[in-house]
Copies of this chain bind each other. A is one copy, B any other.
Amino acid sequence: MNLSCSEFKPGRFFLGSFPFGKDLITSVEDFCKKASIRMAVFSVIGSVSSVTVGCYDQKQQVHVISREKAPFEIISCTGNVSIKKGNPFVHAHIVLSDEKDKIIGGHLFSETIIFAGEINLQELKGKPIERAYDYKTGLMLWNLF
């Protein structure tokens, strides 16, 4: 089996600034709903006052969550927007660092509270991809196969 791909045309391109004290994922999903964005890719840099990340346990098929109520730099955050149950849904992974050279990362969850952050988001036009349950992995994957 091969990489299964769907082609899109570039839509609008946005640079944006996150509001202080708001949740990262919620901010992006709310913006997409208001701007009628169905599909997109994006990248974020900035810093947070608290963060929630997960690592997927591939055997037990559950996310192991860890939450840090402390300041961190977002040193990488890349993700996409596609459709889950009819609404724009963010899937993003994140890497963070702190003053003591601690590095953490994983699948991005709420709550992750922005201190300051900049996003670049490329809207994609074309047939939206829906997420569907995948029995092999236990994840909500893109329904492309």
20 A-B pairs with C-beta separation under 8 A: A1-B19, A1-B22, A2-B19, A2-B34, A5-B119, A8-B13, A8-B14, A15-B129, A20-B136, A41-B43, A45-B79, A45-B93, A47-B58, A55-B73, A56-B71, A66-B101, A74-B93, A76-B105, A95-B103, A103-B103
Q: For A93, what are the chain B residues with a Cβ–Cβ distance below 8 Å?
A: 45, 73-76
Considering the complex, which residues of chain A in the window 100-145 have a beta carbon less than 8 Å from any beta carbon of chain B? 101, 103-107, 115-116, 118-121, 124, 129, 134, 136-137, 139, 141-142, 144-145
- The number of chain A residues with a CB under 8 A from chain B is 78
Q: Is A36 interfacial (CB-CB < 8 Å)?
A: no
**In the complex, A39 Cα to B142 Cα: how many Å?**
25
B contact residues around A34 at 8 Å (CB): 2
Question: How long is the Cα–Cα vector from A48 to B5 in the complex, in angstroms?
Answer: 19
* Complex: A5 Cα to B54 Cα, angstroms: 28
What 1/0 mask marks residues of chain A from 1 to 29 whose CB sits below 8 Å from any chain B CB?
11111111110111111111010000110
